[in-house]
Amino acid sequence: MSADTEQEAPLDISAAYAESNIGAIVEQLDRELIGLAPVKSRIREIAALLLVDRLRKRVGLATEPPPLHMSFTGGPGTGKTTVAMRMAEILKSLGYVRKGHLVAVTRDDLVGQFIGHTAPKTKEVIKRAMGGVLFIDEAYYLYKAENERDYGGEAIEILLQAMENNRDDLVVIFAGYKDRMDAFFSSNPGLKSRVGNHIDFPDYSPEELMQIGELMVAKLSYRFTDDAHAAFAEYIRRRMAQPFFANARSVRNAIGRARLRQANRLFALGGVLTRDELMTIEAEDIRKSRIFTEDN
Amino acid sequence: MRVTQGAFSYLPDLTDEQIGKQIQYALDNNWPISIEYTNDPHPRNSYWEMFGLPMFDLKDAAAIMGEIKRARGEYPDSYIKVNAYDARYGRQTTALSFIINRPANEPGFRLERQNGNDRVQRYTIKAYSLDTPRETRYST
């Protein structure tokens, strides 16, 4: 490189940022996803790296596409799939994937049932995901240590090959519960070394779950009365103490059931209804839940 | 003699980049792509061998370019074409079809005459390449 290209006019990183549309996406992420601070900061870091990389490319510095394969670990209902979808959009707006679609698969979609069935199946999925993001949910099921004749290993091998050879075409995200994913990666060192970003999704606090609940209710054009609000906070507190609590997913299910009870109540009421009544979830719609009747 | 079938066949051979763009256009229109090959260049030979199944649900041309590379590796001395099928009700036909690989040496066709009843002359064309067995066809 000659000396004068190195002394170019300073590059405007804010202009590049504005132009890339990342700002809008990150903002949307902040608005629509409650909590998840470590996840958001990581996404911002990745976005910053991609942006800087793009500027470096513009002035002719050596750039190499950063390792974008990721692993998302965290409990059920902590937003792994939702964030993966956003990730696809972010990567697209930065020009690192061309189409920005998300192909979500599990073991069933990759692993075949008999010899010679796995490779074509896995390749088919990889082809579908090209130009976008391949999201492998509960990825640890791919590898079954106790059965050495399991076909999952073959799927992993083909995935590795595609991750290496089609780096420009494909971003793979592995997702699952933390402890099992750790075991999965430690038994597949080749995979671990090719996955550059490990992001851990923390469980939500009760306050965050409440905010999530309100967001969901508002999206469905409902609203809580003050009493219902208190009842729902109580519901979350009780539900969290119970087994099989699945964070935001449990909240969504609870709202679904509250809507059922609300509809039922209105139906029993009969007569003329106002728009307001159709929108309002009362405390009794929540307090009728099994969670409150059980002693705990 | 250069065989001219399908789209773009009067143009110089498309580069891989150009092929990729055509395929992307087809995929953007929701036309699934299939790859076919043959070594019988007769214009009425409409049933070419399929190279794998038609590829549904793809979004990006890179996946198909990979398949094209594989097909060329396996059948370097064959004609290979890609077809894009428009499944929309009311159309349901091949929307775009073009040759992406051809033998290095294309010997062309000869005209054959046959004497029929009452001094009737019947004409047919026959590819020179079909005179040699399949294995050695097109080898120079």
Which residues in chain B have their CB less than 8 angstroms from residue A126's CB?
Answer: 63
pLDDT value at residue A97: 86
The answer to whether residue A101 neighbours chain B at the CB level (below 8 Å) is yes
Q: How many CB atoms within 10 Å of residue A237?
A: 13
Measured distance CA(A92)–CA(A97) in Å, rounded: 5
Amino acid found at A230:
A
Q: How many CB atoms within 10 Å of residue A73?
A: 23
How, if at all, do strands B79-86 and B33-38 pair? Answer: antiparallel
Q: What is the mean pLDDT of residues B2-26?
A: 94
B22-57 tens-digit pLDDT: 999 999 999 999 999 998 889 889 899 999 999 999
pLDDT higher at A62 or A234? A234
Measured distance CA(A31)–CA(A36) in Å, rounded: 12
Which residues in chain A have their CB less than 8 angstroms from residue B26's CB?
Answer: none
Quick check: B77 and B103 in contact, CB under 8 A? yes
pLDDT value at residue A236: 92
Q: How confident is the model at residue A291 (pLDDT cuts 50, 70, 90)?
A: confident
Domain range summary for chain A, segments of one domain joined by +: 3-201, 206-293
pLDDT higher at A22 or B57? B57
Q: What is the CATH number of domain A3-201?
A: 3.40.50.300
Q: Exposed, middle or buried by CB within 10 Å (0-12, 13-18, 19+), for A118?
A: buried
Q: Is the pLDDT of residue A3 over 50?
A: no
- For the entire predicted model, the pTM comes to 0.80
Q: What is the mean pLDDT of residues A18-44?
A: 80
Share of chain A above pLDDT 70, in %: 96
Amino acid found at A138:
E
pLDDT higher at B114 or B138? B114
Which residues in chain B have their CB less than 8 angstroms from residue A169's CB?
Answer: 60, 62-63
ipTM score of complex: 0.75
- A70 forms bridges with which residues in the sheet? A173, A197
A201-214 tens-digit pLDDT: 999 999 999 999 99
Quick check: B93 and B75 in contact, CB under 8 A? no
Tokens of A273: 């209804």
Q: Is the pLDDT of residue A296 over 70?
A: no
Q: Is the pLDDT of residue A85 over 80?
A: yes
Domains of chain B, earliest start first: 16-105 (3.30.190.10)
- The sheet with strand B33-38 has its strands ordered as B49-50, B33-38, B79-86, B93-101
pLDDT value at residue A8: 57
Do A131 and B62 lie within an 8 Å CB cutoff? yes
Chain B residue whose CA is closest to A123: B63
CATH architecture of A206-293: Orthogonal Bundle (1.10)
Do A98 and B60 lie within an 8 Å CB cutoff? yes
